[in-house]
């Protein structure tokens, strides 16, 4: 990203390239606990160390705009955002089963639970469920906007990951009534199968379970609920697991045919999707089929499979087909069945069209010390009361005991806990949970515009956390580089935050960053993610000390595709170690003898073509973020210049242009050597104050191109051709190729398609 920022500055843009430190959260706190130091001290010492490392690498960060999220001047605005979200009805508190890491001793957002085994993304410990009173942000209020990517240029993979995570599905909410008249609402994407619903299944956690369960079945139901609570979500949803469940003793009425159907509970139904209740249609759902077979429940067919002869099904049929055994809808074609049944349910008052989402509201409470305090107060008289804006920040006490216990450490800090109610002045207590660290990082791109804005001044509900003039000039972010691992966490959260900020009146746009590009991860030499515990960390300090910053920068560009990454190769850097001294000698050393006479004009023309082709190539690669091929191109150009140095072109204007071009193209990549050499050849001002070189299109054009020749879309030949070849000549060359003639044989040529400069496709 530093190379790209330097390139854009040379292109004439005013570039804001800031740096900051997302400094709250579990990793910093756990590391501090492990070392027996305070998180504040540990974090700031790491910040200082990283500043030094970044500077040693020659980064062009704007250090005057640095933001550190654990400083009060920053997190008071995070608290301000919390209060604004609360005022807008987007922050709320409720009791719910949440994901809890028993090692980190804190709750986790759904996005922080990873893998099929549902482990904590920070420490790898299996996650358990726990019932707690927690704070949430209503990210679900923005789901349809979050599914709209039309205003941004983001990688397809990230768009797909966010789309799948949000998980929009259309169907119907259908109301079943229990025999006690309790409404049980189910969401289904297949209302056309309602006539095949022969039982209902509730999640063990469903709030109606206790009320519906009869005394005769209560003991069995309670035991089953306890067993289900001990399982992970993945275990419960596994298709390989034998289906289990118990009958509640209660019945419901199927609203489409009036049939009495039993109500069961089973662990394969989750409260986290839909309504936590399903209508079980065993003939057309695999899990329901297994359940019905095990417990000998009816399996009527209501969607006709191809070639069905009326016999019982050997397995669930989940494909399309006309409705059968469905009362007035029997014979309805499958492509219109869902729509027609949904409309009928709405007419009957027993159902309605509905959209369901996989994503859940953002759980932001954390039972840990190292995070931004949640600015809420609890009063026995007034209930939940927000901290007045003027009293922000609620400071995180540095003398708190921060070892994790499973409860919020701030609960045991008397000075923090006890306060006065802002409404009545009576005794009250503060919220002792802290915010998820992603709360701070969801708006950091705006914090760079005016770090610690209005620090020391009181703030109000109508204040703004960002200097309006800076915001108007810079925002939104033009190009953002970040890892794919943030696709369903930070990158969703920051989009939600920007849309909420728009509705607060803070910004007047919808998306935080226009262009997103993902970089890969450089792994240890053992192909594992770098970790001190694995002992495979490659320290930049050692590399810079041994090789110099420019060599390290160039190898980071050259060693891997930027968007893919890969394992570190200690031998790979040696190529860069050899290349940069060759650049130095090329520019500064005088040839040992006079170049041979003759051939000067041809040599100049060749050198000019090399120069302008290299400008074009490196420019294209900069735009495409293909940094490895930038270095490869500069290496080839260096070799070409070394060969040319011993010819009559040395010392000509073309030579001077070529050397200047090499240094200008090198400047974003290896800023130190480029600066030094620029000064040594007597050029005024800094190389970094120069314009990016422009190429002459005629000189940069390829003289010879490779045309792909296809027959019916299949590659059959490659032919060399002049770059300015006409369509007629390209067609003739393709049809004259021996391999092409052999593949065509006596087939009739229907047409020949020519894509200029690229391919000839012969349709036979």
Residue-wise pLDDT for 197-228, tens only, equals 999 999 999 999 999 999 999 999 999 998 88
CATH class of the domain comprising 169-356? alpha beta
Pair 346, 191: CB distance under 8 Å: no
The helix (run of H) or strand (run of E) holding residue 671 is helix 671-680
**pLDDT classification of 520: cutoffs 50, 70, 90:** very high
- Is pLDDT above 70 for 593? no
Residue with tokens 């050029």: 683
704 has a pLDDT exceeding 90:
no
Q: For 540-699, which CATH superfamily applies? A: Isoleucyl-tRNA Synthetase; Domain 1 (1.10.730.10)
pLDDT in tens, 728-750: 999 999 999 999 999 999 999 99
Q: Which CATH number fits domain 702-763: 3.40.50.10490, 3.90.650.10, 3.10.20.590, 3.30.2010.10?
A: 3.10.20.590
3-state secondary structure string, 618-637?
HHHHHHHCCHHHHHHHHHHH
Q: What was the pLDDT predicted at 387?
A: 98
148 CB contacts (<8 Å, ≥6 apart)? none
- Kindly report, residue by residue over 250-262, the tens digit of the pLDDT: 999 999 999 999 9
Residue 237 neighbours by CB under 8 Å, 6+ apart: 268, 270
Phi and psi at 395, nearest 5°, equal -80, 140
What is the Cα–Cα distance from 185 to 182, expressed in whole angstroms?
Answer: 10
Residue 375 pLDDT > 90: yes
Q: What is the pLDDT of residue 601?
A: 76
Question: Contact 723/695 with Cβ under 8 angstroms?
Answer: no
Taking the mean position of all CA atoms in its chain, how far away is CA 233? 23
**Predicted pLDDT at 596:** 62
Alpha carbons 360 and 577: distance in angstroms, whole number? 51
Domain at 2-68+442-521, CATH from 1.20.1740.10, 3.30.1360.20, 2.60.40.1760, 3.40.50.620: 3.40.50.620
| pLDDT tens-digit series, residues 290-311 | 999 999 999 999 999 998 989 9
Q: Sorting pLDDT into bands at 50, 70 and 90, what band is 111?
A: low
Q: Which of 679, 589, 694, 587 is nearest to 641 (CA)?
A: 587
Bridge partner residues of 93 (DSSP): 135
Does the pLDDT value for residue 591 go beyond 90?
A: no
Q: Each residue of 440-494: pLDDT tens digit?
A: 999 999 999 999 999 999 999 999 999 999 999 999 999 999 999 899 999 999 9
> 670 and 2 in contact (C-beta within 8 Å)?
no
Closest by alpha carbon to 188, among 354, 428, 401? 354
CA-closest candidate to residue 202, choices 282, 290, 276, 253:
276
The first and second tokens of residue 146, run together, are 């979050």
The set of residues, in sequence order, having a beta carbon less than 8 Å from that of 61 and lying 6+ positions away, is: 2, 17, 18, 19, 54
**Cα 709 from Cα 656, distance rounded (Å):** 41
Q: Identify the CA nearest to 299 among candidates 176, 183, 287.
A: 287
β-bridge pairing 521-523 and 565-567: parallel
Rounded to whole angstroms, the Cα distance separating 2 from 8 reads 10
Does residue 609 register a pLDDT over 80? yes
In terms of Cβ atoms closer than 10 Å to its own Cβ (0-12, 13-18, 19+), residue 762 is buried
pLDDT higher than threshold 80 for residue 115: no
Per-residue pLDDT at 125: 86
Q: What tokens appear for 246 in the block?
A: 């118990």
Give the DSSP per-residue string, 104-118: TTEEE-GGGEETTTT
DSSP codes, 640-652: HHHHHHTSTTTTS
Q: Helix, strand or coil for residue 522? A: strand
Q: How far apart are CA 14 and CA 10, in angstroms?
A: 9
In this structure, how many other beta carbons lie within 10 angstroms of the beta carbon of residue 201? 24
pLDDT band at residue 710, thresholds of 50, 70 and 90? very high
Question: Is the bond into 746 cis (omega within 30 degrees of 0)?
Answer: no
First to last CA, the chain: 49
Structure confidence by residue, pLDDT tens digits, 49-107: 999 999 999 999 999 999 999 999 999 999 999 999 999 999 999 987 778 888 887 77
Residue 326 burial class via C-beta count within 10 angstroms: exposed 0-12, middle 13-18, buried 19 and up: buried
Tell me the average pLDDT across 108-123. 74
* Alpha-carbon dihedral sign for residues 638, 642, 647, 653: positive
- 118 close to 234: Cβ distance less than 8 angstroms: yes
pLDDT over 70 at 592, yes or no:
no
pLDDT in tens, 386-402: 999 999 999 999 999 88
- 20-29, 329-338, 367-376, 473-482: least confidently modelled range: 20-29
Task: Report the 10 Å Cβ neighbour count for 473.
Answer: 11
Sign of CA dihedral 148, 153, 154, 156: positive
Q: What are the angstrom distances between the C-alpha of 487 and each of 150, 333, 700? A: 17, 40, 39
Strands in 60-154 per DSSP E = 67-68, 91-101, 106-108, 113-114, 119-120, 128-137
Separation CA 352–CA 344 (nearest Å): 9
- What average pLDDT does the structure give for the chain? 93
Is pLDDT of 110 > 80? no
- The Cα 488–Cα 162 span in angstroms is 6
Model pLDDT, residue 535: 83
- DSSP H helices in 478-599: 490-504, 540-547, 549-558, 573-588
pLDDT of 313 above 90: yes
8 A C-beta contact, residue 178 and residue 266: no
For the cut 80, the answer to whether the pLDDT of residue 511 exceeds it is yes
Q: What percentage of the chain exceeds 70 in pLDDT?
A: 98
pLDDT of residue 232: 66
- pLDDT in the model for residue 116: 67
Q: Is 427 left (phi over 0), alpha (psi -120 to 50) or beta?
A: beta
Assign 724 a pLDDT band (cuts: 50, 70, 90). confident
403 pLDDT tier (thresholds 50, 70, 90):
confident
| Dihedrals phi, psi of 6, to nearest 5 degrees | -65, -40
Domain boundaries, the chain: 2-68+442-521, 76-144+363-438, 169-356, 540-699, 702-763
476 preceded by cis ω (within 30°)? yes
- Tell me what pLDDT residue 36 has: 92
Phi, psi (rounded to 5 degrees) for 436: -50, 140
CA pseudo-torsion sign 189, 194, 197, 203: positive
- If one counts every other C-beta atom within 10 angstroms of the C-beta of residue 324, the result is 19
Which region, left, alpha or beta, applies to residue 265 given φ > 0 means left and ψ of -120 to 50 means alpha?
A: beta
For residue 234, is pLDDT > 70? no
Q: What is the pLDDT of residue 531?
A: 80
State how far the Cα of 754 lies from the Cα of 115, in Å rounded to an integer. Answer: 48
């Amino acid at each position: 990203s530093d190379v790209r920022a330097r390139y854009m500055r040379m292109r004439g843009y005013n570039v804001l390239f800031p740096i900051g430190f997302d400094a709250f959260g579990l990793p910093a706190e756990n590391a501090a606990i492990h070392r027996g130091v305070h998180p504040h001290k540990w974090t700031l010492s790491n910040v200082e160390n990283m500043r030094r490392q970044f500077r040693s690498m020659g980064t062009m960060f704007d250090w005057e705009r640095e933001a550190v999220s654990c400083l009060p001047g920053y997190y008071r605005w995070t608290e301000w955002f919390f209060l604004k979200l609360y005022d807008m009805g987007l922050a709320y508190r409720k009791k719910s089963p949440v994901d809890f890491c028993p090692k980190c001793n804190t709750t986790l957002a759904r996005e922080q639970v990873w893998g099929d085994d549902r482990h904590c993304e920070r420490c790898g410990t299996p996650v358990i469920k726990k019932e707690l009173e927690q704070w949430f942000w209503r990210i679900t209020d923005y789901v349809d906007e979050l599914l709209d990517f039309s205003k941004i240029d983001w990688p397809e993979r990230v768009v797909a990951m966010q789309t799948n995570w949000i998980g929009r599905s259309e169907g119907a909410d259908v109301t079943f009534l229990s025999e006690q008249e309790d409404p049980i609402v189910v969401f289904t994407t297949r209302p056309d199968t309602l006539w095949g619903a022969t039982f209902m299944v509730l999640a063990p956690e469903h709030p109606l379970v206790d009320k519906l369960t009869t005394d005769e079945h209560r003991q069995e139901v309670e035991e089953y609920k306890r067993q289900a609570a001990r399982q992970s979500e993945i275990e419960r949803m596994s298709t390989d697991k034998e289906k289990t469940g118990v009958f509640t003793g209660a019945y419901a009425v199927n609203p489409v045919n009036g049939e009495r159907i039993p109500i069961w509970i089973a662990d394969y139904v989750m409260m986290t999707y839909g309504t936590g209740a399903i209508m079980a249609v065993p003939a057309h759902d695999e899990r329901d089929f297994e359940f019905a077979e095990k417990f000998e429940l009816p399996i009527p067919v209501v969607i006709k499979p191809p070639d069905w002869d009326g016999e019982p099904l050997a397995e669930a049929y989940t494909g399309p087909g006309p409705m059968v055994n469905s009362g007035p809808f029997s014979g309805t074609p499958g492509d219109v069945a869902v729509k027609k049944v949904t409309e009928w349910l709405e007419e009957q008052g027993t159902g309605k069209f509905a959209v369901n989402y996989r994503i859940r509201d953002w759980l932001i409470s954390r039972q840990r010390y190292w995070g931004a305090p949640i600015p809420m107060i609890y009063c026995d008289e007034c209930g939940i009361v927000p901290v007045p804006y003027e009293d922000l920040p609620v400071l995180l006490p540095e003398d708190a005991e921060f070892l994790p216990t499973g409860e919020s450490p701030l609960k045991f800090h008397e000075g923090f806990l006890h306060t006065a109610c802002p409404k009545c002045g009576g005794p009250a207590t503060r919220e002792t949970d802290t915010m998820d660290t992603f709360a701070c990082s969801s708006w950091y791109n705006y914090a760079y515009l005016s770090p610690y804005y209005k620090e020391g001044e009181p703030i109000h509900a109508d204040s703004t956390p960002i200097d309006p003039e800076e915001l108007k000039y810079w925002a939104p972010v033009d190009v953002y580089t970040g890892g794919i691992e943030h696709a369903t966490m930070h990158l969703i959260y920051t989009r939600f935050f920007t849309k909420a900020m728009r509705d607060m009146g803070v910004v007047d746009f919808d998306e935080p960053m226009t262009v997103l590009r993902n970089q890969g991860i450089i792994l240890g030499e053992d192909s594992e993610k770098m970790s001190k515990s694995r002992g495979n960390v490659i320290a930049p300090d050692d590399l810079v000390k041994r090789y110099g910053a420019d060599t390290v920068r160039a190898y980071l560009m050259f060693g891997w595709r930027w968007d893919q990454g890969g394992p570190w190769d200690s031998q790979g850097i040696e190529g860069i170690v050899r290349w940069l001294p060759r650049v130095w000698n090329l520019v500064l050393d005088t040839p040992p003898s006079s170049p041979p006479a003759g051939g000067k004009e041809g040599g100049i023309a060749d050198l000019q073509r090399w120069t302008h082709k290299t400008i074009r190539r490196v420019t294209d690669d900069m735009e495409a973020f293909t940094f490895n091929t930038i270095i490869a191109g500069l290496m080839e150009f260096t070799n070409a210049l070394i060969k040319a140095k011993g010819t009559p072109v040395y010392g000509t204007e073309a030579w001077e242009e070529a050397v200047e071009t090499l240094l200008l193209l090198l400047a974003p990549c290896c800023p130190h050597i480029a600066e030094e050499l620029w000064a040594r050849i007597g050029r005024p001002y800094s190389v970094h104050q120069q314009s990016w070189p422009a190429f002459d299109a005629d000189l940069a054009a390829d003289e010879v191109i490779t045309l792909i020749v296809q027959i019916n879309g299949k590659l059959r030949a490659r032919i060399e051709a002049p770059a300015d070849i006409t369509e007629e000549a390209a067609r003739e060359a393709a049809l004259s190729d021996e391999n092409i003639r052999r593949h065509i044989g006596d087939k009739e040529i229907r047409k020949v398609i020519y894509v200029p400069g690229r391919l000839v496709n012969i349709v036979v």
